Amino acid sequence: MRTLPEPFAGWFAARGWTPRPHQLALLDAAKAGEHVLLLAPTGGGKTLAGFLPSLVDLAARPHDGLHTIYISPLKALAVDIARNLTAPVSDMALDISIETRTGDTPVNRRARQRENPPNILLTTPESLTLLLSLPGAPAMFAGLAAIVVDEAHALAGTKRGDQLALCMSRLAALAPGARRIGLSATVAHPEALRTWLSPSARAGDVRLVETRGGAMPVFDLQLPEGRLPWGGHMGLASAPEIYRRIEAARVTIVFVNTRAQAELIFAALWRLNEAALPIAMHHGSLEIGLRRKVEAAMAEGRLRGVVATASLDLGIDWGDVDQVIQVGAPKGVSRLLQRVGRANHRMDEPSRAVLVPANRFEVVECVAATEAVQAGDLDGEPPRPGGLDVLAQHVLAMACSAPFDEDALYAEVTRAGPYAALARHDFADVVRFVEDGGYALQAYDRFRKLFRDSEGRMHVRGPQVVRQFRMNLGTIVETPLLKVRVRGGGVVGEVEEYFVSTLEPGDCFLFGGQVLRYERLDPGAVIVSRGGDGEPRVPVYAGSRMPLTTYLAARVRAILSDPRRWRHLPDPVKEWLRLQRLKSELPPKDGLLVETFPRGGKWFLMAYTFEGRLAHQTLGMLLTKRMERLGMAPLGYVGTDYVLAIWSAFEPHDIAALFTEDILGDEMEEWLAESSMLRRTFRNIATIAGLLEKNHPGQEKSGRQMTMNSDLIYDVLRRHQPDHILLRATRAEAAQGLTDVARIASLLARVKGRIRHRVLKQVSPLAVPALIEEGREWVAGGAEDALLAEAAALVEDATDGAEHFSETLAEITDSLPVRGTSVPRERRRSRHVRGVPKMVTGR
C-alpha cells in the first residue's frame, strides 16, 4: 500500500491516524490523472479524501491562482469545510489559500476573488454559474486542476445537478486538464452517478472507489402503547415513547417527514418534558439565525435532542449523536440509511435507529425498509434527462460570458451526462427561446436578447440583458412565502401565503415551537403575538411530503402478499392482515387488487396500487374522468401512498376497462388543460428558463399593479402555440415529477390482465386507513362551474336571498382557502355539507 508524502504522513501520525484505503485510492487516481467517484457512508473521512490529492499537489508544487474548486449543495457546508480544511493547512504550515464564495460573500471580497482567486475555492452550483457567466471566466479557470463535488448524490438528478453538470462541461472546455472528484453517500445506481460526473457522459471514464460501511445499522420498531392507529401520519400517539428514548440516550435526532409534523411532535415532546431536557427543533422555514443557533448548540453538545426535517439530512457533522429516531414511514431506503447515518459518525460502530410508524401501513413500510437495508438493497430513481429550462438559463449564462458558436456549445452541452441524449433541434429551440422567446409568431424581433454576428456567433444584446440574467439566476423556485414577525420583536421564520390566506385575525397557529396569534398582515410580513386561545392550526407547505419510492412499494407489496413474511410484524398488524384475507383478499405481489363495496349511499372503489401519493392523485383524476364517461357518476377520490379510493353514485363495473393504458390518452389530454400541478410545473419552468422573473433590475416595489400571473400565460400559450418549447418541457417534467405519469404507465402495464376485482358487502380492513385520510379531491364534472353553481344555490337557500348574511355563510362554509395554482390542493370540507353526495357531475 502506498503511504502519504511528508508533511502529511507526519501530520496523520501525530494524530495517531492512519490514512484510510479510500483516501490512498483517491491519491492513486490523482496520480493516474483519472476522474473518480468515491462512495462512502458518512463519517468515513470522505471530504478529506477528496481534498488530499489537491493538498499534496499544492504542497509539492505551489500554484498561482485557482487550483481546486469545491462545490457543495449547501452554503453552510462550504463554510464548514473551509474551516475544517484551514486547520491542517496551518498545522502543516502550507502556503495554500482557501476561501468560500456564496451568495453571502461580501461584494468587495467577490471582486478580489475575481482578480486574485485563492488556490482552493469552496462554492455552490449557483455561485459557480455566476462565475462562469463573467467575461473573465476563461482566465480565472484556465489553471484549474481539480473539481470536487460533495454530496454528489444529492445533486445528480435534480435541476441543480443539471446546472452543475453543464457548468462542469464548461470548466472542461476552459481547463481540459481538470480532474473531477465526486463524493457521495452509497447509492443504488453508481453507474448513473458516474455518468453524471463524467466529462464524456460515459461512466467508464470515472473510476469508482467504494467503501462499504463496517457495521450494519441496528433498528428498533417502536409502537405506541395501546391501540395502533389506523390512519394519520404524525405519530403523535408515540410521543411518550419517543420522549423516554430521548431521556435514555445522550443525543438524539428525531427525524420527521414534514415541517407540520416537526411542529406537532416538538409540541408534544415539550408538553411531556418534565425533566426539562434541552430539546430543539430544526426545519427549513425557521429563520436562518434560529437554525444556526440550533446547529451551534448541537455541535457544542448542549442539546439532548433535536426534532428535524430533511433540513438536517445533509451536511455538517453533529458529532455526538448516538440515536436517530425516524417518526413516520421512511418513504425510501436510501433516505432512511442517510438519516440513520447521522448517528454515531464512526464507520466501525453500528448506527442505532428507532423507527416509529404512525399507522398500520407504515408499520409494514418500516419493516420493508429495514429488511431492504439489511439486504443491502437501495432504491433510487433512475437517471432522467436534464431540464430544458435549466439549459435555457445556461445558454444565456454562456452568452453573457462570451459570444458562442451554436454548434460548439451544443457539443459542449452534450458532453454533460444529463444532456448526452439532447437532440440538436431541441437545443436549437432552446437557443431560439433565449433569443426571442421562440414563438411561431415573429413578434419580438426588436426585443431579441441575443443577436448573431456575420460569423454566426451569438452575442447578448446589451448590459441590461446581463443584469437581468444575474438577478434571476438559480434553479430553486420558492413558493411565495411571508415572513412571520412577532409584534415588537423579530422575524421567527416564514409561512406560505396560502396558509395565511386561511387565517382570520385572532386565529392561532403553531410555529417554531410556540403558539402564535395572527394579528394582521403588513406588507411582506405576518404580524403575530405570542400565545392565544383555542386549538392552534399548523402551517402546511406545498410539496413537502415525499412519495413512497417504487422500490420500497414493491417490498411492501411482497410482504403483504406473503403471510410467511409477516413474522417481523407486530401482532395488531398481523391480525389486521389476517382479517383482510378473511373478508377480502391480500393485494398480490405483481397484480392489482381492486375492491368495490357500498357504504353510506355511495359505492367505493379501492385500488391497492402502491405507487405513491403523487401518482395516485393523478390516477384518481384520470380514473374519475373515465368513470364519468362510463356513467358511473364519480363523486370524489383520495390517494394515500398505498391506496387510491374513489367513491361514486353508481356501482363501478368492468374494472379491467378502467385500468387500461389508453387512459393516458384522451383523459390525460383533458386533464392537462386543467391540472393545477401542471400549472405549478409550468410556473417553475418558466421562471428557471427566464420567461418569468424573480427580480427585475431597477424596479420600484410600490404601487398596486395587476399582476400577469403564470396561469394566464399558460392558458394563452397553450391555446396559441401548444408545442412551444416550455410547454414541451412542462409535459416532460410532469411525466416524471409532480404527476408521476411515468409511474402510472408502468403500473398499468404491470397489472394488465392481472386485476383481481372483489365485490364486497362492506368496507374491508385494508380500506379503512384510506377512508379516514384527509386531503380529498372532489370531482365536479371537470369544471369548477358546477361547484360554483352549487355554492351559489346553497347560499341562496340558506338566506332566502338576503343581501348581507356573512354570519350564516360562515356557518355553511368554514373559512375556505383560495384555490390557486401555487398552493396545494388541501381541502377543508364544510361541517354542514359533509357527506352530501348531492352533486354528481356537471354533465
Partner 1 sequence: MTAAPVHIAGERLMLDPGGVLHWPARRTLVVADLHFEKGSAFAARGRLVPPYDTRETLSRLAPLLRLYGPRRIVFLGDSFHDAEGCTRLMEADRTALLHALAGIETIWVAGNHDPAPPVGLPGTAVEELRDGPLTFRHIPTPRAVAEIAGHLHPRATAPTRAGGVARACFISDGRRVLMPAFGAYTGGLDAADPAIAGLFPRGGRAFLLGTERLFSFPLAPKRSTVAVPVTTFGSAQDLPLFAGIKLRNG
The DSSP annotation for 342-408 comes to: TSS--TTS--EEEEE-SSHHHHHHHHHHHHHHHTT----PPP-PPPHHHHHHHHHHHHHHS-EEHHH
454 sits near partner 1 (criterion: CB under 8 A): no
Among 415, 445, 413, smallest CA distance to 426 is for: 413
601 sits near partner 1 (criterion: CB under 8 A): no
CB 681, min distance to partner 1, A = 13
Q: Toward partner 1, which CB reaches closer, 670 or 711? A: 711
Could you give the string, one character per residue 647-686, with x where binding to partner 1 holds by CB under 8 A and - elsewhere?
A: ------------------------------------x---
DSSP state of 695: -
582 sits near partner 1 (criterion: CB under 8 A): no
CB 592, min distance to partner 1, A = 28
User: Which segments of 175-306 does DSSP mark as H helices, in order?
Assistant: 190-197, 239-248, 259-272, 288-299
Interatomic CA distance for residues 763 and 583, integer angstroms: 9
Q: Toward partner 1, which CB reaches closer, 14 or 802? A: 802
723 sits near partner 1 (criterion: CB under 8 A): no
452 sits near partner 1 (criterion: CB under 8 A): no
Of residues 539 through 568, those in contact with partner 1 by CB under 8 A are: none
Q: Toward partner 1, which CB reaches closer, 87 or 441? A: 441
3-state secondary structure 471-540: HCCCCCCCCCEEEEEECCCCEEEEEEHHHHHCCCCCCEEEECCEEEEEEEEECCEEEEEECCCCCCECCC
Interatomic CA distance for residues 833 and 669, integer angstroms: 32
CB 530, min distance to partner 1, A = 19
Taking CB under 8 A as the criterion, the residue among 1, 669, 699, 749 binding partner 1 is 699
Q: Toward partner 1, which CB reaches closer, 515 or 525? A: 525
**CB distance 21 to 59 below 8 Å:** no
Taking CB under 8 A as the criterion, the residue among 378, 397, 692, 763 binding partner 1 is 692
Could you give the string, one character per residue 754-783, with x where binding to partner 1 holds by CB under 8 A and - elsewhere?
A: -----------------------xx-x--x
Cell of 747: 403500473
Q: Toward partner 1, which CB reaches closer, 208 or 789? A: 789
716 sits near partner 1 (criterion: CB under 8 A): yes
CB 527, min distance to partner 1, A = 10
CB 132, min distance to partner 1, A = 21
CB 421, min distance to partner 1, A = 27
* Binding-residue total with partner 1 (CB under 8 A): 93
221 sits near partner 1 (criterion: CB under 8 A): no
600 sits near partner 1 (criterion: CB under 8 A): no
Cell of 187: 447509492
Taking CB under 8 A as the criterion, the residue among 93, 248, 707, 753 binding partner 1 is 707
Taking CB under 8 A as the criterion, the residue among 705, 723, 753, 800 binding partner 1 is 705
Question: How do strand 279-282 and strand 450-452 relate by DSSP bridges?
Answer: unpaired
**CB distance 182 to 190 below 8 Å:** no
Q: Toward partner 1, which CB reaches closer, 4 or 727? A: 727
Q: Toward partner 1, which CB reaches closer, 194 or 679? A: 679
Interatomic CA distance for residues 307 and 357, integer angstroms: 16
694 sits near partner 1 (criterion: CB under 8 A): yes
Interatomic CA distance for residues 126 and 472, integer angstroms: 11
Cell of 427: 437545443
The total of other beta-carbon atoms located within 10 Å of residue 829's CB is 16
Interatomic CA distance for residues 718 and 679, integer angstroms: 11
Burial of 752 (0-12, 13-18, 19+ CB in 10 A): middle
Which stretch in 210-218, 260-268, 561-569, 698-706 sits in contact with partner 1 by CB under 8 A?
Answer: 698-706
Q: Toward partner 1, which CB reaches closer, 279 or 685? A: 685
Interatomic CA distance for residues 15 and 504, integer angstroms: 60
Of residues 471 through 490, those in contact with partner 1 by CB under 8 A are: 477-478, 480
Interatomic CA distance for residues 512 and 608, integer angstroms: 37
Interatomic CA distance for residues 269 and 524, integer angstroms: 32
DSSP state of 65: S
- 71: helix, coil or strand? strand
276 sits near partner 1 (criterion: CB under 8 A): no
Q: Toward partner 1, which CB reaches closer, 86 or 830? A: 830
828 sits near partner 1 (criterion: CB under 8 A): yes
Which stretch in 3-11, 186-194, 691-699, 748-756 sits in contact with partner 1 by CB under 8 A?
Answer: 691-699
Of residues 492 through 521, those in contact with partner 1 by CB under 8 A are: 497-498, 500-501, 503-506, 520-521
Q: Toward partner 1, which CB reaches closer, 259 or 724? A: 724
CB 804, min distance to partner 1, A = 5
Taking CB under 8 A as the criterion, the residue among 710, 739, 764, 841 binding partner 1 is 710
Interatomic CA distance for residues 358 and 363, integer angstroms: 8
Of residues 77 through 106, those in contact with partner 1 by CB under 8 A are: none
Q: Toward partner 1, which CB reaches closer, 489 or 505? A: 505
437 sits near partner 1 (criterion: CB under 8 A): yes
Element (H, E) at 594: strand 592-599
Q: Toward partner 1, which CB reaches closer, 318 or 498? A: 498
Instruction: Mention every residue, 6+ apart, whose C-beta is less than 8 A from residue 769.
Output: 230, 231, 359, 360, 361, 640, 642, 643
**CB distance 596 to 756 below 8 Å:** no
Q: Toward partner 1, which CB reaches closer, 300 or 504? A: 504
Taking CB under 8 A as the criterion, the residue among 425, 567, 719, 761 binding partner 1 is 719
Q: Toward partner 1, which CB reaches closer, 416 or 434? A: 434
Could you give the string, one character per residue 781-820, with x where binding to partner 1 holds by CB under 8 A and - elsewhere?
A: --xxx-xxxxxx--x---x--xxxxxx-xx-xxxxxxxxx
708 sits near partner 1 (criterion: CB under 8 A): yes
Cell of 777: 379531491
Taking CB under 8 A as the criterion, the residue among 248, 275, 441, 749 binding partner 1 is 441
Question: How do strand 120-123 and strand 68-71 relate by DSSP bridges?
Answer: parallel
Q: Toward partner 1, which CB reaches closer, 632 or 691? A: 691
CB 726, min distance to partner 1, A = 9
**CB distance 55 to 98 below 8 Å:** no
Give the distance from CA 455 to its chain's centroid: 43
Interatomic CA distance for residues 463 and 459, integer angstroms: 11
Interatomic CA distance for residues 365 and 359, integer angstroms: 10
Q: Toward partner 1, which CB reaches closer, 93 or 818? A: 818
Q: Toward partner 1, which CB reaches closer, 214 or 524? A: 524
Of residues 103 through 122, those in contact with partner 1 by CB under 8 A are: none
Q: Toward partner 1, which CB reaches closer, 521 or 759? A: 521
Of residues 19 through 48, those in contact with partner 1 by CB under 8 A are: none
**Range 704-710 contact pairs with CB under 8 angstroms and sequence separation of 24 or more:** 710/679, 710/682, 710/683, 710/686, 710/821
**CB distance 509 to 500 below 8 Å:** no
Which stretch in 509-517, 741-749, 752-760, 825-833 sits in contact with partner 1 by CB under 8 A?
Answer: 825-833
Unique residue bearing C-alpha cell 417554531: 512
Taking CB under 8 A as the criterion, the residue among 724, 730, 743, 773 binding partner 1 is 724
CB 531, min distance to partner 1, A = 19
Which stretch in 171-179, 346-354, 590-598, 704-712 sits in contact with partner 1 by CB under 8 A?
Answer: 704-712
